[in-house]
């Protein structure tokens, strides 16, 4: 891709993010994929998410800025904590930091990290980032140690970074229920999705935690015919806007708080699709969200 083409692509993406904000969408989501691994069929995201967040923080005003998700074992947690807190402050507290253990084995040798140990590395990095919200932190773990003699600035706007755990991240169900300010889980059948959400909430209730939000991504290919029945595509569905409305209603009823719609496979014009969703679906779900 030439430099001119890349500049045009980034400008178009920023325009789309600004359009999403203007139309009333609640969040925009970035990915963290350091390397282009051909076996996975896509480059993930070309640009570093934290640099990208800095741009979006300055060019938007209200929309939440999410990363789904930073692969903790591939980065040092000190750098993640610093960059994330910076993006949070620059955006006025709009950052949602998704974190994950990673699923691309080919990336790990590039930084001399064992893929098999990514679960333990994830936990240690998670604890490290949590401690960076403290003033003059003290702790000692496998990713580093501090003795209260130095601090990290800036601090997140709300006092701590909102950490959203993605999938299982190689952790037990008990660990997932005890940690995290939310959970991003993958699309499943209605019966399976309702079951895993209920299980997660019951585990939180058993340890005295209040409910945390559930997020789900969904690839969609929205057809011109509003009644096109759902047919499967990769991690999502091709369908008309009426079945999409019913899908969103059913997920809301089972406890999903936010769905990140991915238009990568959408065959219609992206801008027109965003406007159509905003006109025909957002008012209903924004109203319900305020009432909950």
* Rg of the chain in Å (alpha carbons): 19
pLDDT of residue 278: 98
C-beta of residue 56 within 8 angstroms of C-beta of residue 11: no
Q: Per-residue confidence of the chain (292 residues) as pLDDT tens digits?
A: 555 556 778 899 999 999 999 999 999 999 998 888 888 877 778 899 999 999 999 999 999 999 999 999 999 999 999 999 999 999 999 999 999 999 899 999 999 999 999 999 999 999 999 999 999 999 999 999 999 999 999 999 999 999 999 999 999 999 999 999 999 999 999 999 999 999 999 999 999 999 999 999 999 999 999 999 999 999 999 999 999 999 999 999 999 999 999 999 999 999 999 999 999 999 998 765 544 5
pLDDT of residue 34: 87
pLDDT of residue 3: 55
Beta strands in the chain (DSSP E): 27-30, 64-71, 95-100, 138-141, 144-147, 163-166, 183-184, 214-222, 231-233, 236-239, 258-262
* Nearest C-alpha neighbor of 281 from the set 261, 267, 264: 261
pLDDT of residue 163: 96
C-beta of residue 193 within 8 angstroms of C-beta of residue 201: no
pLDDT of residue 270: 97
pTM across the whole model:
0.92
Dump pLDDT digits (tens) for 196-251: 999 999 999 999 999 999 999 999 999 999 999 999 999 999 999 999 999 999 99
Q: 30 forms bridges with which residues in the sheet? A: 67
pLDDT of residue 287: 62
Q: 239 forms bridges with which residues in the sheet? A: 222
C-beta of residue 171 within 8 angstroms of C-beta of residue 185: no
pLDDT of residue 288: 59
Average pLDDT taken over every residue of the chain:
94
3-state secondary structure of 112: coil
pLDDT of residue 4: 52
pLDDT of residue 92: 98
Dump pLDDT digits (tens) for 111-137: 999 999 999 999 999 999 999 999 999
Which residues does 196 contact at the CB level (< 8 Å), separation at least 6?
185, 188
pLDDT of residue 10: 85
pLDDT of residue 289: 54
Q: How far, in Å, CA of 214 to CA of 177, rounded?
A: 12
Q: How far, in Å, CA of 32 to CA of 46, rounded?
A: 9
């Amino acid at each position: 891709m030439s430099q001119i083409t890349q500049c045009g692509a980034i400008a178009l993406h920023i325009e789309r993010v600004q359009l999403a904000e203007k139309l009333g969408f609640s969040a925009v989501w970035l990915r963290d994929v350091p390397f282009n691994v051909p076996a996975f069929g896509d480059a993930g995201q070309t640009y570093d998410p934290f640099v990208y967040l800095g741009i979006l923080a300055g060019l938007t005003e209200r929309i939440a800025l999410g990363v789904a998700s930073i692969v903790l074992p591939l980065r040092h947690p000190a750098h993640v904590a610093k960059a994330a807190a910076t993006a949070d402050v620059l955006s006025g507290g709009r950052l949602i930091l998704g974190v994950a253990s990673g699923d691309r084995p080919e990336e790990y040798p590039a930084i001399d990290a064992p893929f098999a140990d990514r679960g333990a590395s994830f936990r240690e990095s998670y604890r490290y980032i949590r401690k960076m919200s403290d003033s003059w932190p003290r702790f000692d773990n496998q990713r580093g140690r501090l003795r209260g003699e130095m601090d990290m600035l800036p601090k997140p706007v709300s006092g701590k970074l909102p950490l959203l755990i993605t999938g299982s991240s190689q952790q037990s169900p008990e660990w997932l229920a005890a940690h995290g300010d939310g959970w991003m889980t993958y699309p499943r059948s209605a019966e399976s999705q309702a079951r895993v959400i209920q299980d997660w909430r019951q585990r939180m209730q058993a340890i005295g935690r209040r409910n945390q939000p559930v997020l789900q991504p969904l690839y969609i290919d929205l057809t011109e015919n509003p009644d096109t029945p759902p047919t499967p595509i990769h991690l999502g569905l091709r369908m008309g806007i009426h079945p999409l409305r019913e899908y969103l209603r059913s997920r809301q009823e089972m406890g999903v708080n936010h769905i990140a719609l991915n238009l990568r496979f959408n065959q219609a014009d992206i801008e027109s699709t965003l406007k159509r969703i905003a006109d025909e679906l957002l008012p209903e779900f924004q109203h319900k969200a305020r009432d909950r």
